[in-house]
Amino acid sequence: MEDWMISNLVTVGLLAAMVGCVFLIRRSRLWSEAAVELWKRRPIAILCVSLYLAVAILDSIFWVGGVDTGEDVVSAHEAKSVIDRLFADARERSYSSPFADVEFYGGKALAHPGSHPLGTDIIGRDVVYLALKGVRVAILIGGLTSLIAIPLSLLFGISAGYFGGRVDDFVFFVMSTLASMPGLLLLIALIMAMGRSTLSICIALAVTSWVGFCRIVRGETLKLREQDYVQAARVLGVSEVQIVLRHILPNLAHLVIITFVLTFSGLVLSEAVLAWLGVGVDGSWGQMIDQARSELSRDPVVWWNITAAGSALFVLILAVNMVGDAVRDVLDPRTLRERS
């Protein structure tokens, strides 16, 4: 199977999962009230995040053909996403500033004058297109890493907190070992050892970021284990697996959501640093910012690349941080005390 078919399948799967989540939230009064409260607090930030999500989804649905590429035979057989198709005929030869009619250096006429709201980069690609392509990369990094790290920390955290004893000792030892290594160096070491692909970068990010969440899950499970309803379930002869699934896991759900949103922005930001160190994902905003460093020393200055990548990154992180704080306030009763 080709790469783009897998991407399509995953996208459809994730969309189905999202619809399922909405359905589940609507069924439970607790969760639907939390969702309404969240929407009331941060409508703009939520809209922003949804907009980014929509772009990422549009950029994850591929098919072959249907674009008139002129003489270019190779690209006619490549799979292209919806975003690729929207910007298919917007190539120039070199830099052009926003809304320009001529090239930035030399002043030759452009092929598509006035059609680049953010100009073009060194090989003439539209900067709006490049910035939009970065959305999928950023969301992929944050999302895939969380999909690896969260189940891992739930598995280890719950078993350590619930079963205690030897299991707890072992998990705690693994956590303190991982936590004592310098984070960014460990991250890079892992990526260098596993090779540079999107999946290995996400695995490395997951290995370095699951410890914090695992510690929270372990602590919370320790508390839940002593609750009366868990004790009662045990006395009634409910099996350990059933107790974990019925009584422990649902009570950790709010923590999962809070941690997911709050770590997401950190993951995307650390990918930017990785990109600059030469071990990032291709097409990310970090790479655009990295390339733009040399553009700032050109004369006259090429400023639109770094502005586009920087503000796309900033708006996403800001919106996610805002939503994250609101999610924590809505879902975690403990922060009520802090806010008062």
Partner 1 sequence: MLAYIVRRLAYGAMVVFGVLFFLFVVFFWVATPDDIARRALGEKAPAIAIEQWKENHGYDRPLWPWESFDNNMLFAHYKSMLTFDFGRSDADDVPILEKIAGGVGPSLALTVPMFVLGLVASVLLSLIVAVFRDTYVDRMGIVLCVFGMSVSILLYIVGAQYLIAKLLRWFPISGFDPSPDVVLRFLALPIIVGLVSSIGSNVRFYRTVFLEEVHRDFVRTARAKGAGEARIMIHHVLRNAMIPILTQIVIAIPFLFTGSLVLESFFGIPGLGALSVEAIQGNDFATLRTMVFVGSLLFVVAQVVTDVSYSLADPRVRLE
Where do contacts with partner 1 occur on this chain (CB under 8 A)? 173-174, 176-178, 180-182, 184-186, 188-190, 192-194, 265, 269, 272-273, 276-279, 286, 289-290, 292-293, 296-297, 306, 310, 313-314, 317-318, 321-322, 325, 337-338, 340
Smallest gap from residue 234 Cβ to partner 1 (A): 26
Provide the CB-side half-sphere exposure for 234 (13 A, CA): 12
| Separation of alpha carbons 224 and 226, rounded Å | 5
Q: How far is CA 132 from CA 76, 117, 284, 285, in A?
A: 22, 13, 10, 10
Tokens 């619930």 belong to 162
Based on CB atoms, which residue is closest to partner 1, 8 or 198? Answer: 198
The smaller minimum CB distance to partner 1, of residues 193 and 235, is found at 193
Q: Which is nearer to partner 1, 53 or 61 (CB)?
A: 53
Closest Cα to residue 230, out of 171, 165, 162, 166?
A: 162
Write down the least CB distance from residue 293 to partner 1, Å. Answer: 6
Count of residues in the chain: 340
Nearest distance from C-beta of residue 322 to partner 1, angstroms? 7
Nearest alpha carbon to residue 305 among 324, 290, 320: 290
Cβ-contact 305, 121 below 8 angstroms: yes
CB of 321 to partner 1, least distance (A): 5
Comparison of 28 and 176: residue with beta carbon closer to partner 1: 176
Spatial distance between the Cα atoms of 123 and 291, rounded to a whole number of angstroms: 12
- Report the nearest approach of partner 1 to the CB of residue 314 (Å): 6
Q: State which residue, 150 or 204, has the beta carbon closest to partner 1.
A: 204
